Amino acid sequence: MKLAAVAGAILGFAALLISTVALSQSGRSASDESEGLTGNLAGQVGSMASMQHASVTLGDIFIEPGTINLAAGQIMLDVTNSGGIQHDLALEDGPKTPLLDAGGTSTLDLGVLDVGTYTVFCTVPGHREGGMEASLIIGEAADQATGDGGRMLHSDEDYMAGVEAFPAATEGLGGQPMEPVMDGDVKVYELTAEEIQWEVSPGDVRTAMAFNGQVPGPEIRVQLGDRVRVILHNELPESTAIHYHGLVVPNDQDGVPGFTQPLVLPGESYTYEFDVVNSGSHMYHSHMNGAVQIPMGLLGAFIVEDGTEEPVDQDITMILNDGPLGYTINGKGFPATQPIVANIGEKVRIRYMNEGLQIHPMHLHGMPQLVVAKDGYELPQPHYEDTVTVAPGERIDVLVDVTELGAWAFHCHILSHAEGPNGMFGMVTAMIVSE
């Protein structure tokens, strides 16, 4: 079902997000920050260039937003390093911030820039090549008559175009169920790691690292007590390895080069084999250059069933990620995310898995989420939440009783992971409920 068919139901959501995000996403004019005498002076000097602010977040290894839009004027970038290592931000052939430690902030004054497109990037060796580059687009000055000064105006047209396109078709689908090849009683999975071009959202094709050409990698689903063999083929230009996150395996199968196994060099293969001794929602992912390889896509769900699961009508894996592919749900950003399409009376299990470097509080409108398991372990006392915060590495299982008709927005509630001046992007999807 196209969301446009139930657009009426989502208009309330749109209005809410517009009003909330406009406050946090915009540039500010000098007059917002100055009062009294200073403000009067600024008003008298009509030709003075207005100050245009934008917030820029540096991470490991990305810059958000990837495109910074500001009106012409004196350009000030409020830079925060949210990553775990040092970064800076420089204008090409221009000034740069000091090297910022984790959590560090700086304001980069770029002076008065003419209308045009510029490039900003991190000067730490290798970081620009790893994706720490963003466009700075300076447009015509905003209409001062609006009283907004230089604030970026939200584009209603772009916003509605995104909503109408949802769910948009893109090349490639991640997390597809993988059937094992049986070798006697052993379930054998072959995973090839390689660089691919991945269409995150319509027309937004980025360099990814993938298992078997998918982001996330194929979904492995086995039964408690199974014996599993995973054969990794490394077709990447760098070494890698696979760690079984949450699974209790013998130490020498844990997938950490130097700790438990040799490096798996480019062109090499490596075989893991173990008995599956604990159930629940788990993951497999790279454990080499992890802050790059996992955000770029070397990950997948590893689900172990034990026969005691609550029966559900739909069992949905929702893998969250952030980094060089942007903010994604199952490897796609809105409007290319997949909606959950359900009927009244159904029970839906959602298995959240966070493979990113940031937390993501996932908010489903309309219906509460019963939190039943954390990291594959059943909670002794399930409880309801409407916003389920999933930290890096965590898996959280929830059950939703589908009781309410309509198109219900479903998004990360760190709103800069979900909406910008050009509408919704990234971690936004919907639960679309019919009779």
Q: Please report how close the Cβ of residue 427 comes to Cu ion at its closest, in angstroms.
A: 5
In the bound state with Cu ion, the residue whose beta carbon lies nearer, of 59 and 149, is 59
In the bound state with Cu ion, the residue whose beta carbon lies nearer, of 113 and 431, is 431
Q: Please report how close the Cβ of residue 89 comes to Cu ion at its closest, in angstroms.
A: 22
In the bound state with Cu ion, the residue whose beta carbon lies nearer, of 154 and 417, is 417
Is residue 32 left, alpha or beta, with left meaning phi > 0 and alpha meaning psi from -120 to 50?
Answer: alpha
Q: Which stretch binds Cu ion (CB under 5 A): 210-218, 229-237, 385-393, 406-414?
A: 406-414
Calpha distance 134→90 (Å, rounded): 10
Q: What are 295's two structure tokens? A: 């955000």
Calpha distance 82→92 (Å, rounded): 22
Calpha distance 206→171 (Å, rounded): 12
304, 334, 393 from 114: Cα distances, Å: 57, 32, 44
Q: Please report how close the Cβ of residue 163 comes to Cu ion at its closest, in angstroms.
A: 19
Question: ∠215-165-134 over CA atoms, to 5°?
Answer: 60
In the bound state with Cu ion, the residue whose beta carbon lies nearer, of 87 and 360, is 360
- Cβ count within 10 A of residue 242: 28
Q: Please report how close the Cβ of residue 425 comes to Cu ion at its closest, in angstroms.
A: 12
Calpha distance 191→189 (Å, rounded): 6
Q: Please report how close the Cβ of residue 4 comes to Cu ion at its closest, in angstroms.
A: 25
Strand partners, 400: 348
In the bound state with Cu ion, the residue whose beta carbon lies nearer, of 287 and 360, is 360
Q: Which stretch binds Cu ion (CB under 5 A): 125-133, 182-190, 221-229, 411-419?
A: 411-419
In the bound state with Cu ion, the residue whose beta carbon lies nearer, of 16 and 256, is 16
Q: Please report how close the Cβ of residue 296 comes to Cu ion at its closest, in angstroms.
A: 18
- Binding residues for Cu ion, rule CB under 5 A, total 4
In the bound state with Cu ion, the residue whose beta carbon lies nearer, of 130 and 356, is 356
Q: Are 138 and 70 in contact (CB under 8 A)?
A: yes
In the bound state with Cu ion, the residue whose beta carbon lies nearer, of 82 and 192, is 82
DSSP β-ladder status, 360-364 and 387-390: antiparallel
Q: Please report how close the Cβ of residue 412 comes to Cu ion at its closest, in angstroms.
A: 3
Strand partners, 174: none
DSSP designation for 328? E
Q: Please report how close the Cβ of residue 185 comes to Cu ion at its closest, in angstroms.
A: 41
Q: Please report how close the Cβ of residue 196 comes to Cu ion at its closest, in angstroms.
A: 24
- State yes or no: residue 405 binds Cu ion (CB under 5 A): no
Q: Which stretch binds Cu ion (CB under 5 A): 13-21, 81-89, 301-309, 353-361?
A: 353-361
Q: Which stretch binds Cu ion (CB under 5 A): 61-69, 120-128, 260-268, 354-362?
A: 354-362
Q: Please report how close the Cβ of residue 360 comes to Cu ion at its closest, in angstroms.
A: 3
Q: Are 222 and 228 in contact (CB under 8 A)?
A: yes
Rounded to whole angstroms, the maximal C-alpha distance in the chain is 85
Q: Which stretch binds Cu ion (CB under 5 A): 54-62, 145-153, 173-181, 404-412?
A: 404-412
Phi first, then psi: what are they for 416, rounded to 5°? -75, -5
Q: Which stretch binds Cu ion (CB under 5 A): 49-57, 66-74, 336-344, 409-417?
A: 409-417
DSSP line for 254-279: S--BTTTB--B-TT-EEEEEEE----
In the bound state with Cu ion, the residue whose beta carbon lies nearer, of 113 and 430, is 430
Work out the burial of residue 275: count CB atoms within 10 Å of its CB; fewer than 13 is exposed, 13-18 middle, 19 or more buried.
middle
Q: Between helices 156-165 and 7-25, what is the axis angle to 10°?
A: 130
In the bound state with Cu ion, the residue whose beta carbon lies nearer, of 213 and 361, is 361
Is residue 82 left, alpha or beta, with left meaning phi > 0 and alpha meaning psi from -120 to 50?
Answer: alpha
Give residues 360-389 in contact with Cu ion (rule: CB under 5 A). 360
Calpha distance 45→126 (Å, rounded): 44
Calpha distance 255→241 (Å, rounded): 6
Binding mask 303-342 for Cu ion (x = CB under 5 A): ----------------------------------------
In the bound state with Cu ion, the residue whose beta carbon lies nearer, of 224 and 359, is 359
Binding mask 412-431 for Cu ion (x = CB under 5 A): x-x--x--------------
Q: Please report how close the Cβ of residue 411 comes to Cu ion at its closest, in angstroms.
A: 8
Q: Which residues bind Cu ion (CB under 5 A)?
A: 360, 412, 414, 417
